Amino acid sequence: MTDTSLPVVRMLPKGNALAIRHGFPWVYANELVLDRRTKKLPAGSLAVLQDAERKPLGVVAFNANSKITCRMLDRSPDAVIDGAWFDGKLKAALAHRETLFDAPFYRLVHAEADGLPGVIIDRFGDVAVVQPNTAWADRLIEALLHALMRVTGVSTVIVNGTGRTRALEGLDDRTEVARGAAPAGPIAVPMNGAVYMADVLGGQKTGLFYDQRPNHAFAARLSKGARVLDVFSHVGGFGLATLAGGATSALAVDGSADALALAEQGAGQMGVADRFATRKGDAFSVLEDLAKDKELFDVVICDPPAFAPSKKALEAGLRAYERVARLAAPLVKPGGYLGLCSCSHAADLTKFRNASARGIGRARRRGQIVHTGFAGPDHPLMPHLAESGYLKALFFRL
């Protein structure tokens, strides 16, 4: 049986229907019959996907404006995408996070891996921030928000509809407090013994990056009694974690005065303000200046933004990662540690590792990799979708 109330979209014979049957969640425009009828479907419409032989594959979200034209929502062609359906997805996601964490501070929904394509939900206690990065989520946002409040019991929901992904879907930017009252200020988030201040309305993305949690914890293990440099620090990510782990001092470097002010607030909440310092400036320039001043640190960590957000940007991005490693390595004491991170899905682990090693070598340093880290388990990886495994963290002992 197929839900006859939904329109049907069909794959071309050259389309990889077998991959869809095996779990791949996307169908590209060049795999579909895009006739006049299907092109008229509003962006974000639900449809039943068929293979070239008209056998149903499931219910998809359709957007003719996107290269990813179909996103699989449910493998059953009879699925009804309604409040109860959202409840089921969110309950499954919540059960996993409650298994992992004692406190409600985590990524609740990680897009395709949690069965909600293009939807990101980060939870900050009684506040949830939703990123509807796809047209279907925009169309069904009310049903999603109702279910979110039912399942989690949060009282405030912020919709943060900004970013590159929405633009690729043909969507406008919008940010609003969709349910409840806006927080009075930044939210204090406990993580790895540190306290981070999340600006859920005006900060980057949802206000805090939960994905680095396990890598923060590893860095903290290296940092007892250490002098630490945290470059591209944002709201104090690695720096505050290392102070919680016993570092004697941490210097946070970032281009955003607002982010550094939040980092200072976090240090104050932790009672480590006397061991924490910030420096605003271009990260590359600051690294060069620190080298001129012959500064040395026991632990140096660089967690830059995505230098390679797409395949077109890959080569330039890899050169940037190599440059970070080249400039950071001379600042590490012999026997000290260098942590290098990439959140670029276009740069896979091997390419990133090679670029990092080249940079360390160009700095005339040698190192051994002592740890390779990824995003935490509240950012599950969909095995069929390499893009969902974007974060890499390499720790070298130099």
According to DSSP, the β-strands at 119-124 and 297-302 are unpaired
Helix (H, G, I), strand (E, B), or coil: what is residue 300?
strand
- CATH number for the domain spanning 208: value is 3.40.50.150
231 alpha-carbon distance from chain centroid = 18
Say yes or no: 50 and 112 in one domain. Answer: no
What is the per-residue pLDDT for 4? 61
Active site residues: 343
Spatial separation of the C-alpha atoms in residues 59 and 48, rounded to whole Å: 5
Alpha helices in the chain (DSSP H): 17-21, 36-39, 83-100, 135-139, 141-152, 164-168, 213-222, 237-244, 257-270, 283-292, 314-328, 349-362
Which of 154, 179, 204 is a domain's end point? Answer: 179
Asked if residue 2 is part of any domain, the answer here is no
Say yes or no: 139 and 209 in one domain. Answer: no
Helix (H, G, I), strand (E, B), or coil: what is residue 340?
strand
| Radius of gyration, CA atoms only, the chain | 23
Which of 57, 74, 91 is a domain's end point? Answer: 74
Helix (H, G, I), strand (E, B), or coil: what is residue 44?
coil
Say yes or no: 169 and 227 in one domain. Answer: no
Question: pLDDT in tens for each of the 398 residues of the chain?
Answer: 455 689 999 999 999 999 999 999 999 999 999 999 999 999 999 999 999 999 999 999 999 999 999 999 999 999 999 999 999 999 999 999 999 999 999 999 999 999 999 999 999 999 999 999 999 999 999 999 999 999 999 999 999 988 788 888 888 888 899 999 999 999 999 999 999 999 999 878 888 999 999 999 999 999 999 999 999 999 999 999 999 999 999 999 999 999 999 999 999 999 999 999 999 999 999 999 999 999 999 999 999 999 998 889 999 999 999 999 999 999 999 999 999 999 998 899 999 999 999 999 999 999 999 999 999 999 999 998 877 689 999 999 99
What is the per-residue pLDDT for 202? 85
The structural domain count of the chain equals: 3
Distance between first and last Cα of the chain: 62
Say yes or no: 244 and 289 in one domain. Answer: yes
Say yes or no: 365 and 271 in one domain. Answer: yes
**Backbone CA torsion sign across 375, 377, 383, 385:** negative
Asked if residue 199 is part of any domain, the answer here is yes
Please, which residues have CB within 8 angstroms of residue 60's CB and are 6 or more apart in sequence? 9, 27, 46, 47, 48, 49, 70, 71, 72, 73
What is the per-residue pLDDT for 5? 87
- Tell how many helices (H) and how many strands (E) occur in the chain: 12, 19
What is the per-residue pLDDT for 173? 87
Say yes or no: 218 and 124 in one domain. Answer: no
Domain hosting residue 132, numbered range: 83-179
Say yes or no: 209 and 127 in one domain. Answer: no
What is the per-residue pLDDT for 1? 44
Asked if residue 184 is part of any domain, the answer here is no
Helix, strand, coil shares, percent, the chain, to 5: 35, 30, 35
Asked if residue 209 is part of any domain, the answer here is yes
CB 268 within 8 A of CB 197: no
Please, which residues have CB within 8 angstroms of residue 185's CB and are 6 or more apart in sequence? none
Asked if residue 368 is part of any domain, the answer here is yes
Asked if residue 333 is part of any domain, the answer here is yes
Which of 129, 158, 179 is a domain's end point? Answer: 179
For the whole prediction, is pTM greater than 0.85? yes
What is the per-residue pLDDT for 85? 98
